C-alpha cells in the first residue's frame, strides 16, 4: 500500500492482543474505501505515479506493489496474519504446500549441501527430495523422527537443514521440537518443521526453537477443502531469500485463494478444538473395537509420545490412523463399506475423509520405503471432520462389519 495513505483508526490496534484476535484481524490494512471485510485485489500489475516511482519500487528502494507474482495486497494480508499466528518475522505464501517446501530448499540450499529428512514425512515430500533435489546435487539422508541421537549422529559438516513433520502423516509420530532444534543449532544447521497437521492454533514450532515453519494451507487453514496454497514462515533474512525465489520462479498464491484462507483463519481456533474433540472420541472408540489391531493417535494414553504431545501441543489434532485385520484386502473392504465418510486423500476438511495410505498418498514409494516409514498395507487414515461423532462411529462400524 502506498505510504501516502494513512488508515489511522480504521485499522485495528493489535498491540498485545491474543491469538484468536490475531486470527481474525491481523494483516488487514484498510483502503480509502473503509471496507470492513478483507478486500480482494485481482490485478496482475500496478500503476506507478512516475517513471522514477516505478524504478524505485522495482529496485526495492521504496515499499509498494510491483507485480502480483510476488506482491499482492490480499496475499500480503494472509502472509502477515500467518506470521502473527506463528510468531514469525515474515511469512511468504506459495501456490501449494509442496511449493512451500520447494521454495525453502531452492532458496536456502545449494548443490553440495546436505539435508536430513524424517523418514515419516508425506510421500510427495520424499519424492521431491529423492527425484528432484538429489538431481541438482543436494545430498539427502533420512532419520527416524523421534531418534534425537540418530539426528545428531547423521549431521555432517555440510548439513544445512533438518526437515520434519511433527505430528507426522499418517502415524501421528512426534519429535521433541525444542530438543531437535538444539541438536541442529549446535552443529550449525537449521530446523524446518511442517506444521500442517497442528496449525499454529495447536503448535508454534518457532517458539519451540525451530527456524522455519511450512504449511499446506490447503488443509486446516482453509478448512473446507476449497483451495490450494502453502506458506513459509521464519526470520526476515531467510524469508528474503524465499521471496527472491518466488519473484523469479513464480509458484505464486492467487489472491482469491489467499482471501479464502483469510476467512479460514478467522475460525481456525474454534474448528481445531472441534476437530480434536471428535478425533479423540473416535480414537478412544476405535481402540475398543474388535478387528482393530492398533490405533495411532497422540491423544491416546497408549501412544508412546502422549506425554510429549501434551507438552508441546495445545491439542492432539484431527488425524486418526489405525490398522485393521486382513492386510490390504481387509483395509479396502473396510473403506468400501463406509457410506457417509468421503473416500479421498485430502484432509483438514469439515467433512471427514478416509484413505488407504499405502496405495494413495504413499503409493509411489517403493515397498521398502513404505516399510521404513511404517506405512503398512493394513493401515487406514481418517481425517476427522466436524460431523456428529456418533454418525462417524456408526459409519466406521459398517467398515468393521466388513472385515
Quick count: other Cβ atoms within 10 Å of Cβ 55? Answer: 12
E strand or H helix that includes residue 182: helix 177-186
Residues of 304-330 as b/e, b for ≥16 C-beta within 10 angstroms?
Answer: ebbebbeebbbbbbbbbbbbbebeeeb
Nearest to 203 by CA among 306, 90, 50, 87: 87
Largest CA-CA distance found in the chain, in angstroms, rounded? 73
- Strand 159-165 vs strand 190-194: parallel, antiparallel, or unpaired? parallel
Distance CA 199, CA 30 (A): 26
In order along its 403 residues, the chain shows pLDDT tens digits of 455 778 888 999 999 999 999 999 999 999 999 999 999 999 999 999 999 999 999 999 999 999 999 999 999 999 999 999 999 999 999 999 999 999 999 999 999 999 999 998 888 899 999 999 999 999 999 999 999 999 999 999 999 999 999 999 889 999 999 999 999 999 999 999 999 999 999 999 999 999 999 999 999 999 999 999 999 999 999 999 999 999 999 999 999 999 999 999 999 999 999 999 999 999 999 999 999 999 999 999 999 999 999 999 999 999 999 999 999 999 999 999 999 999 998 999 999 999 999 998 777 777 887 877 788 999 999 999 999 999 999 999 999 999 9
- Taking a C-beta distance cutoff of 8 angstroms, is the pair 103, 251 a contact? yes
> Are β-strands 139-143 and 319-324 bridged in parallel, bridged antiparallel, or unpaired?
unpaired
Q: Give the residue carrying C-alpha cell 521454495.
A: 103
What is d(CA 156, CA 83) in angstroms, rounded to the nearest whole number? Answer: 31
Amino acid at each position: 500500500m502506498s505510504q501516502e495513505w494513512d488508515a489511522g483508526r480504521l485499522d485495528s490496534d493489535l498491540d498485545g492482543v491474543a491469538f484468536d484476535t490475531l486470527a481474525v484481524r491481523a494483516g488487514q490494512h484498510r483502503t480509502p474505501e473503509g471496507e470492513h471485510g478483507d478486500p480482494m485485489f485481482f490485478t496482475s500489475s500496478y500503476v506507478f505515479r512516475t517513471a522514477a516511482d516505478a524504478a524505485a519500487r522495482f529496485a526495492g528502494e521504496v515499499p509498494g506493489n510491483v507485480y502480483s507474482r510476488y506482491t499482492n495486497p490480499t496475499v500480503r494480508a494472509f502472509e502477515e496474519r500467518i506470521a502473527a499466528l506463528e510468531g514469525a518475522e515474515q511469512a511468504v505464501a506459495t501456490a501449494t504446500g509442496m511449493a512451500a517446501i520447494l521454495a525453502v530448499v531452492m532458496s536456502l540450499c545449494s548443490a553440495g549441501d546436505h539435508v536430513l529428512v524424517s523418514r515419516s514425512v508425506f510421500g510427495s515430500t520424499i519424492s521431491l527430495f529423492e527425484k528432484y533435489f538429489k538431481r541438482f546435487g543436494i545430498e539427502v539422508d533420512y532419520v527416524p523422527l523421534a531418534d534425537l541421537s540418530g539426528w545428531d549422529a547423521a549431521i555432517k559438516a555440510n548439513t544445512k537443514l533438518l526437515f520434519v513433520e511433527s505430528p507426522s502423516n499418517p502415524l501421528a509420530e512426534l519429535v521433541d521440537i525444542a530438543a531437535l532444534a538444539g541438536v541442529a543449532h549446535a552443529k550449525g544447521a537449521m530446523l524446518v518443521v511442517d506444521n500442517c497437521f497442528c496449525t499454529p492454533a495447536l503448535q508454534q514450532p518457532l517458539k519451540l526453537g525451530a527456524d522455519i515453519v511450512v504449511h499446506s494451507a490447503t488443509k486446516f487453514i482453509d478448512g473446507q477443502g476449497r483451495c490450494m496454497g502453502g506458506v513459509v514462515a521464519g526470520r526476515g533474512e531467510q524469508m528474503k531469500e524465499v521471496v527472491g525465489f518466488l519473484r523469479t520462479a513464480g509458484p505464486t498464491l492467487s489472491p482469491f485463494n489467499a482471501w479464502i484462507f483469510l476467512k479460514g483463519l478467522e475460525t481456525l481456533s474454534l474448528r481445531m478444538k472441534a476437530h480434536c474433540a471428535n478425533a479423540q472420541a473416535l480414537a478412544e472408540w476405535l481402540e475398543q473395537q474388535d478387528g482393530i489391531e492398533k490405533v495411532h493417535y497422540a491423544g491416546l494414553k497408549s501412544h508412546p509420545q502422549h506425554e510429549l504431545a501434551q507438552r508441546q501441543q495445545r491439542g492432539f489434532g484431527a488425524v486418526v490412523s489405525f490398522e485393521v485385520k486382513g492386510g490390504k484386502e481387509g483395509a479396502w473392504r473396510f473403506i468400501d463399506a463406509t457410506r457417509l465418510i468421503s473416500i479421498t486423500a485430502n484432509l483438514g476438511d469439515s467433512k471427514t475423509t478416509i484413505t488407504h495410505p499405502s496405495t494413495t498418498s504413499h503409493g509411489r514409494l517403493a515397498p521398502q520405503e513404505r516399510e521404513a516409514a511404517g506405512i503398512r498395507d493394513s493401515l487406514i487414515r481418517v481425517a476427522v471432520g466436524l460431523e456428529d461423532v456418533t454418525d462417524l462411529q456408526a459409519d466406521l462400524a459398517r467398515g468393521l462389519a466388513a472385515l
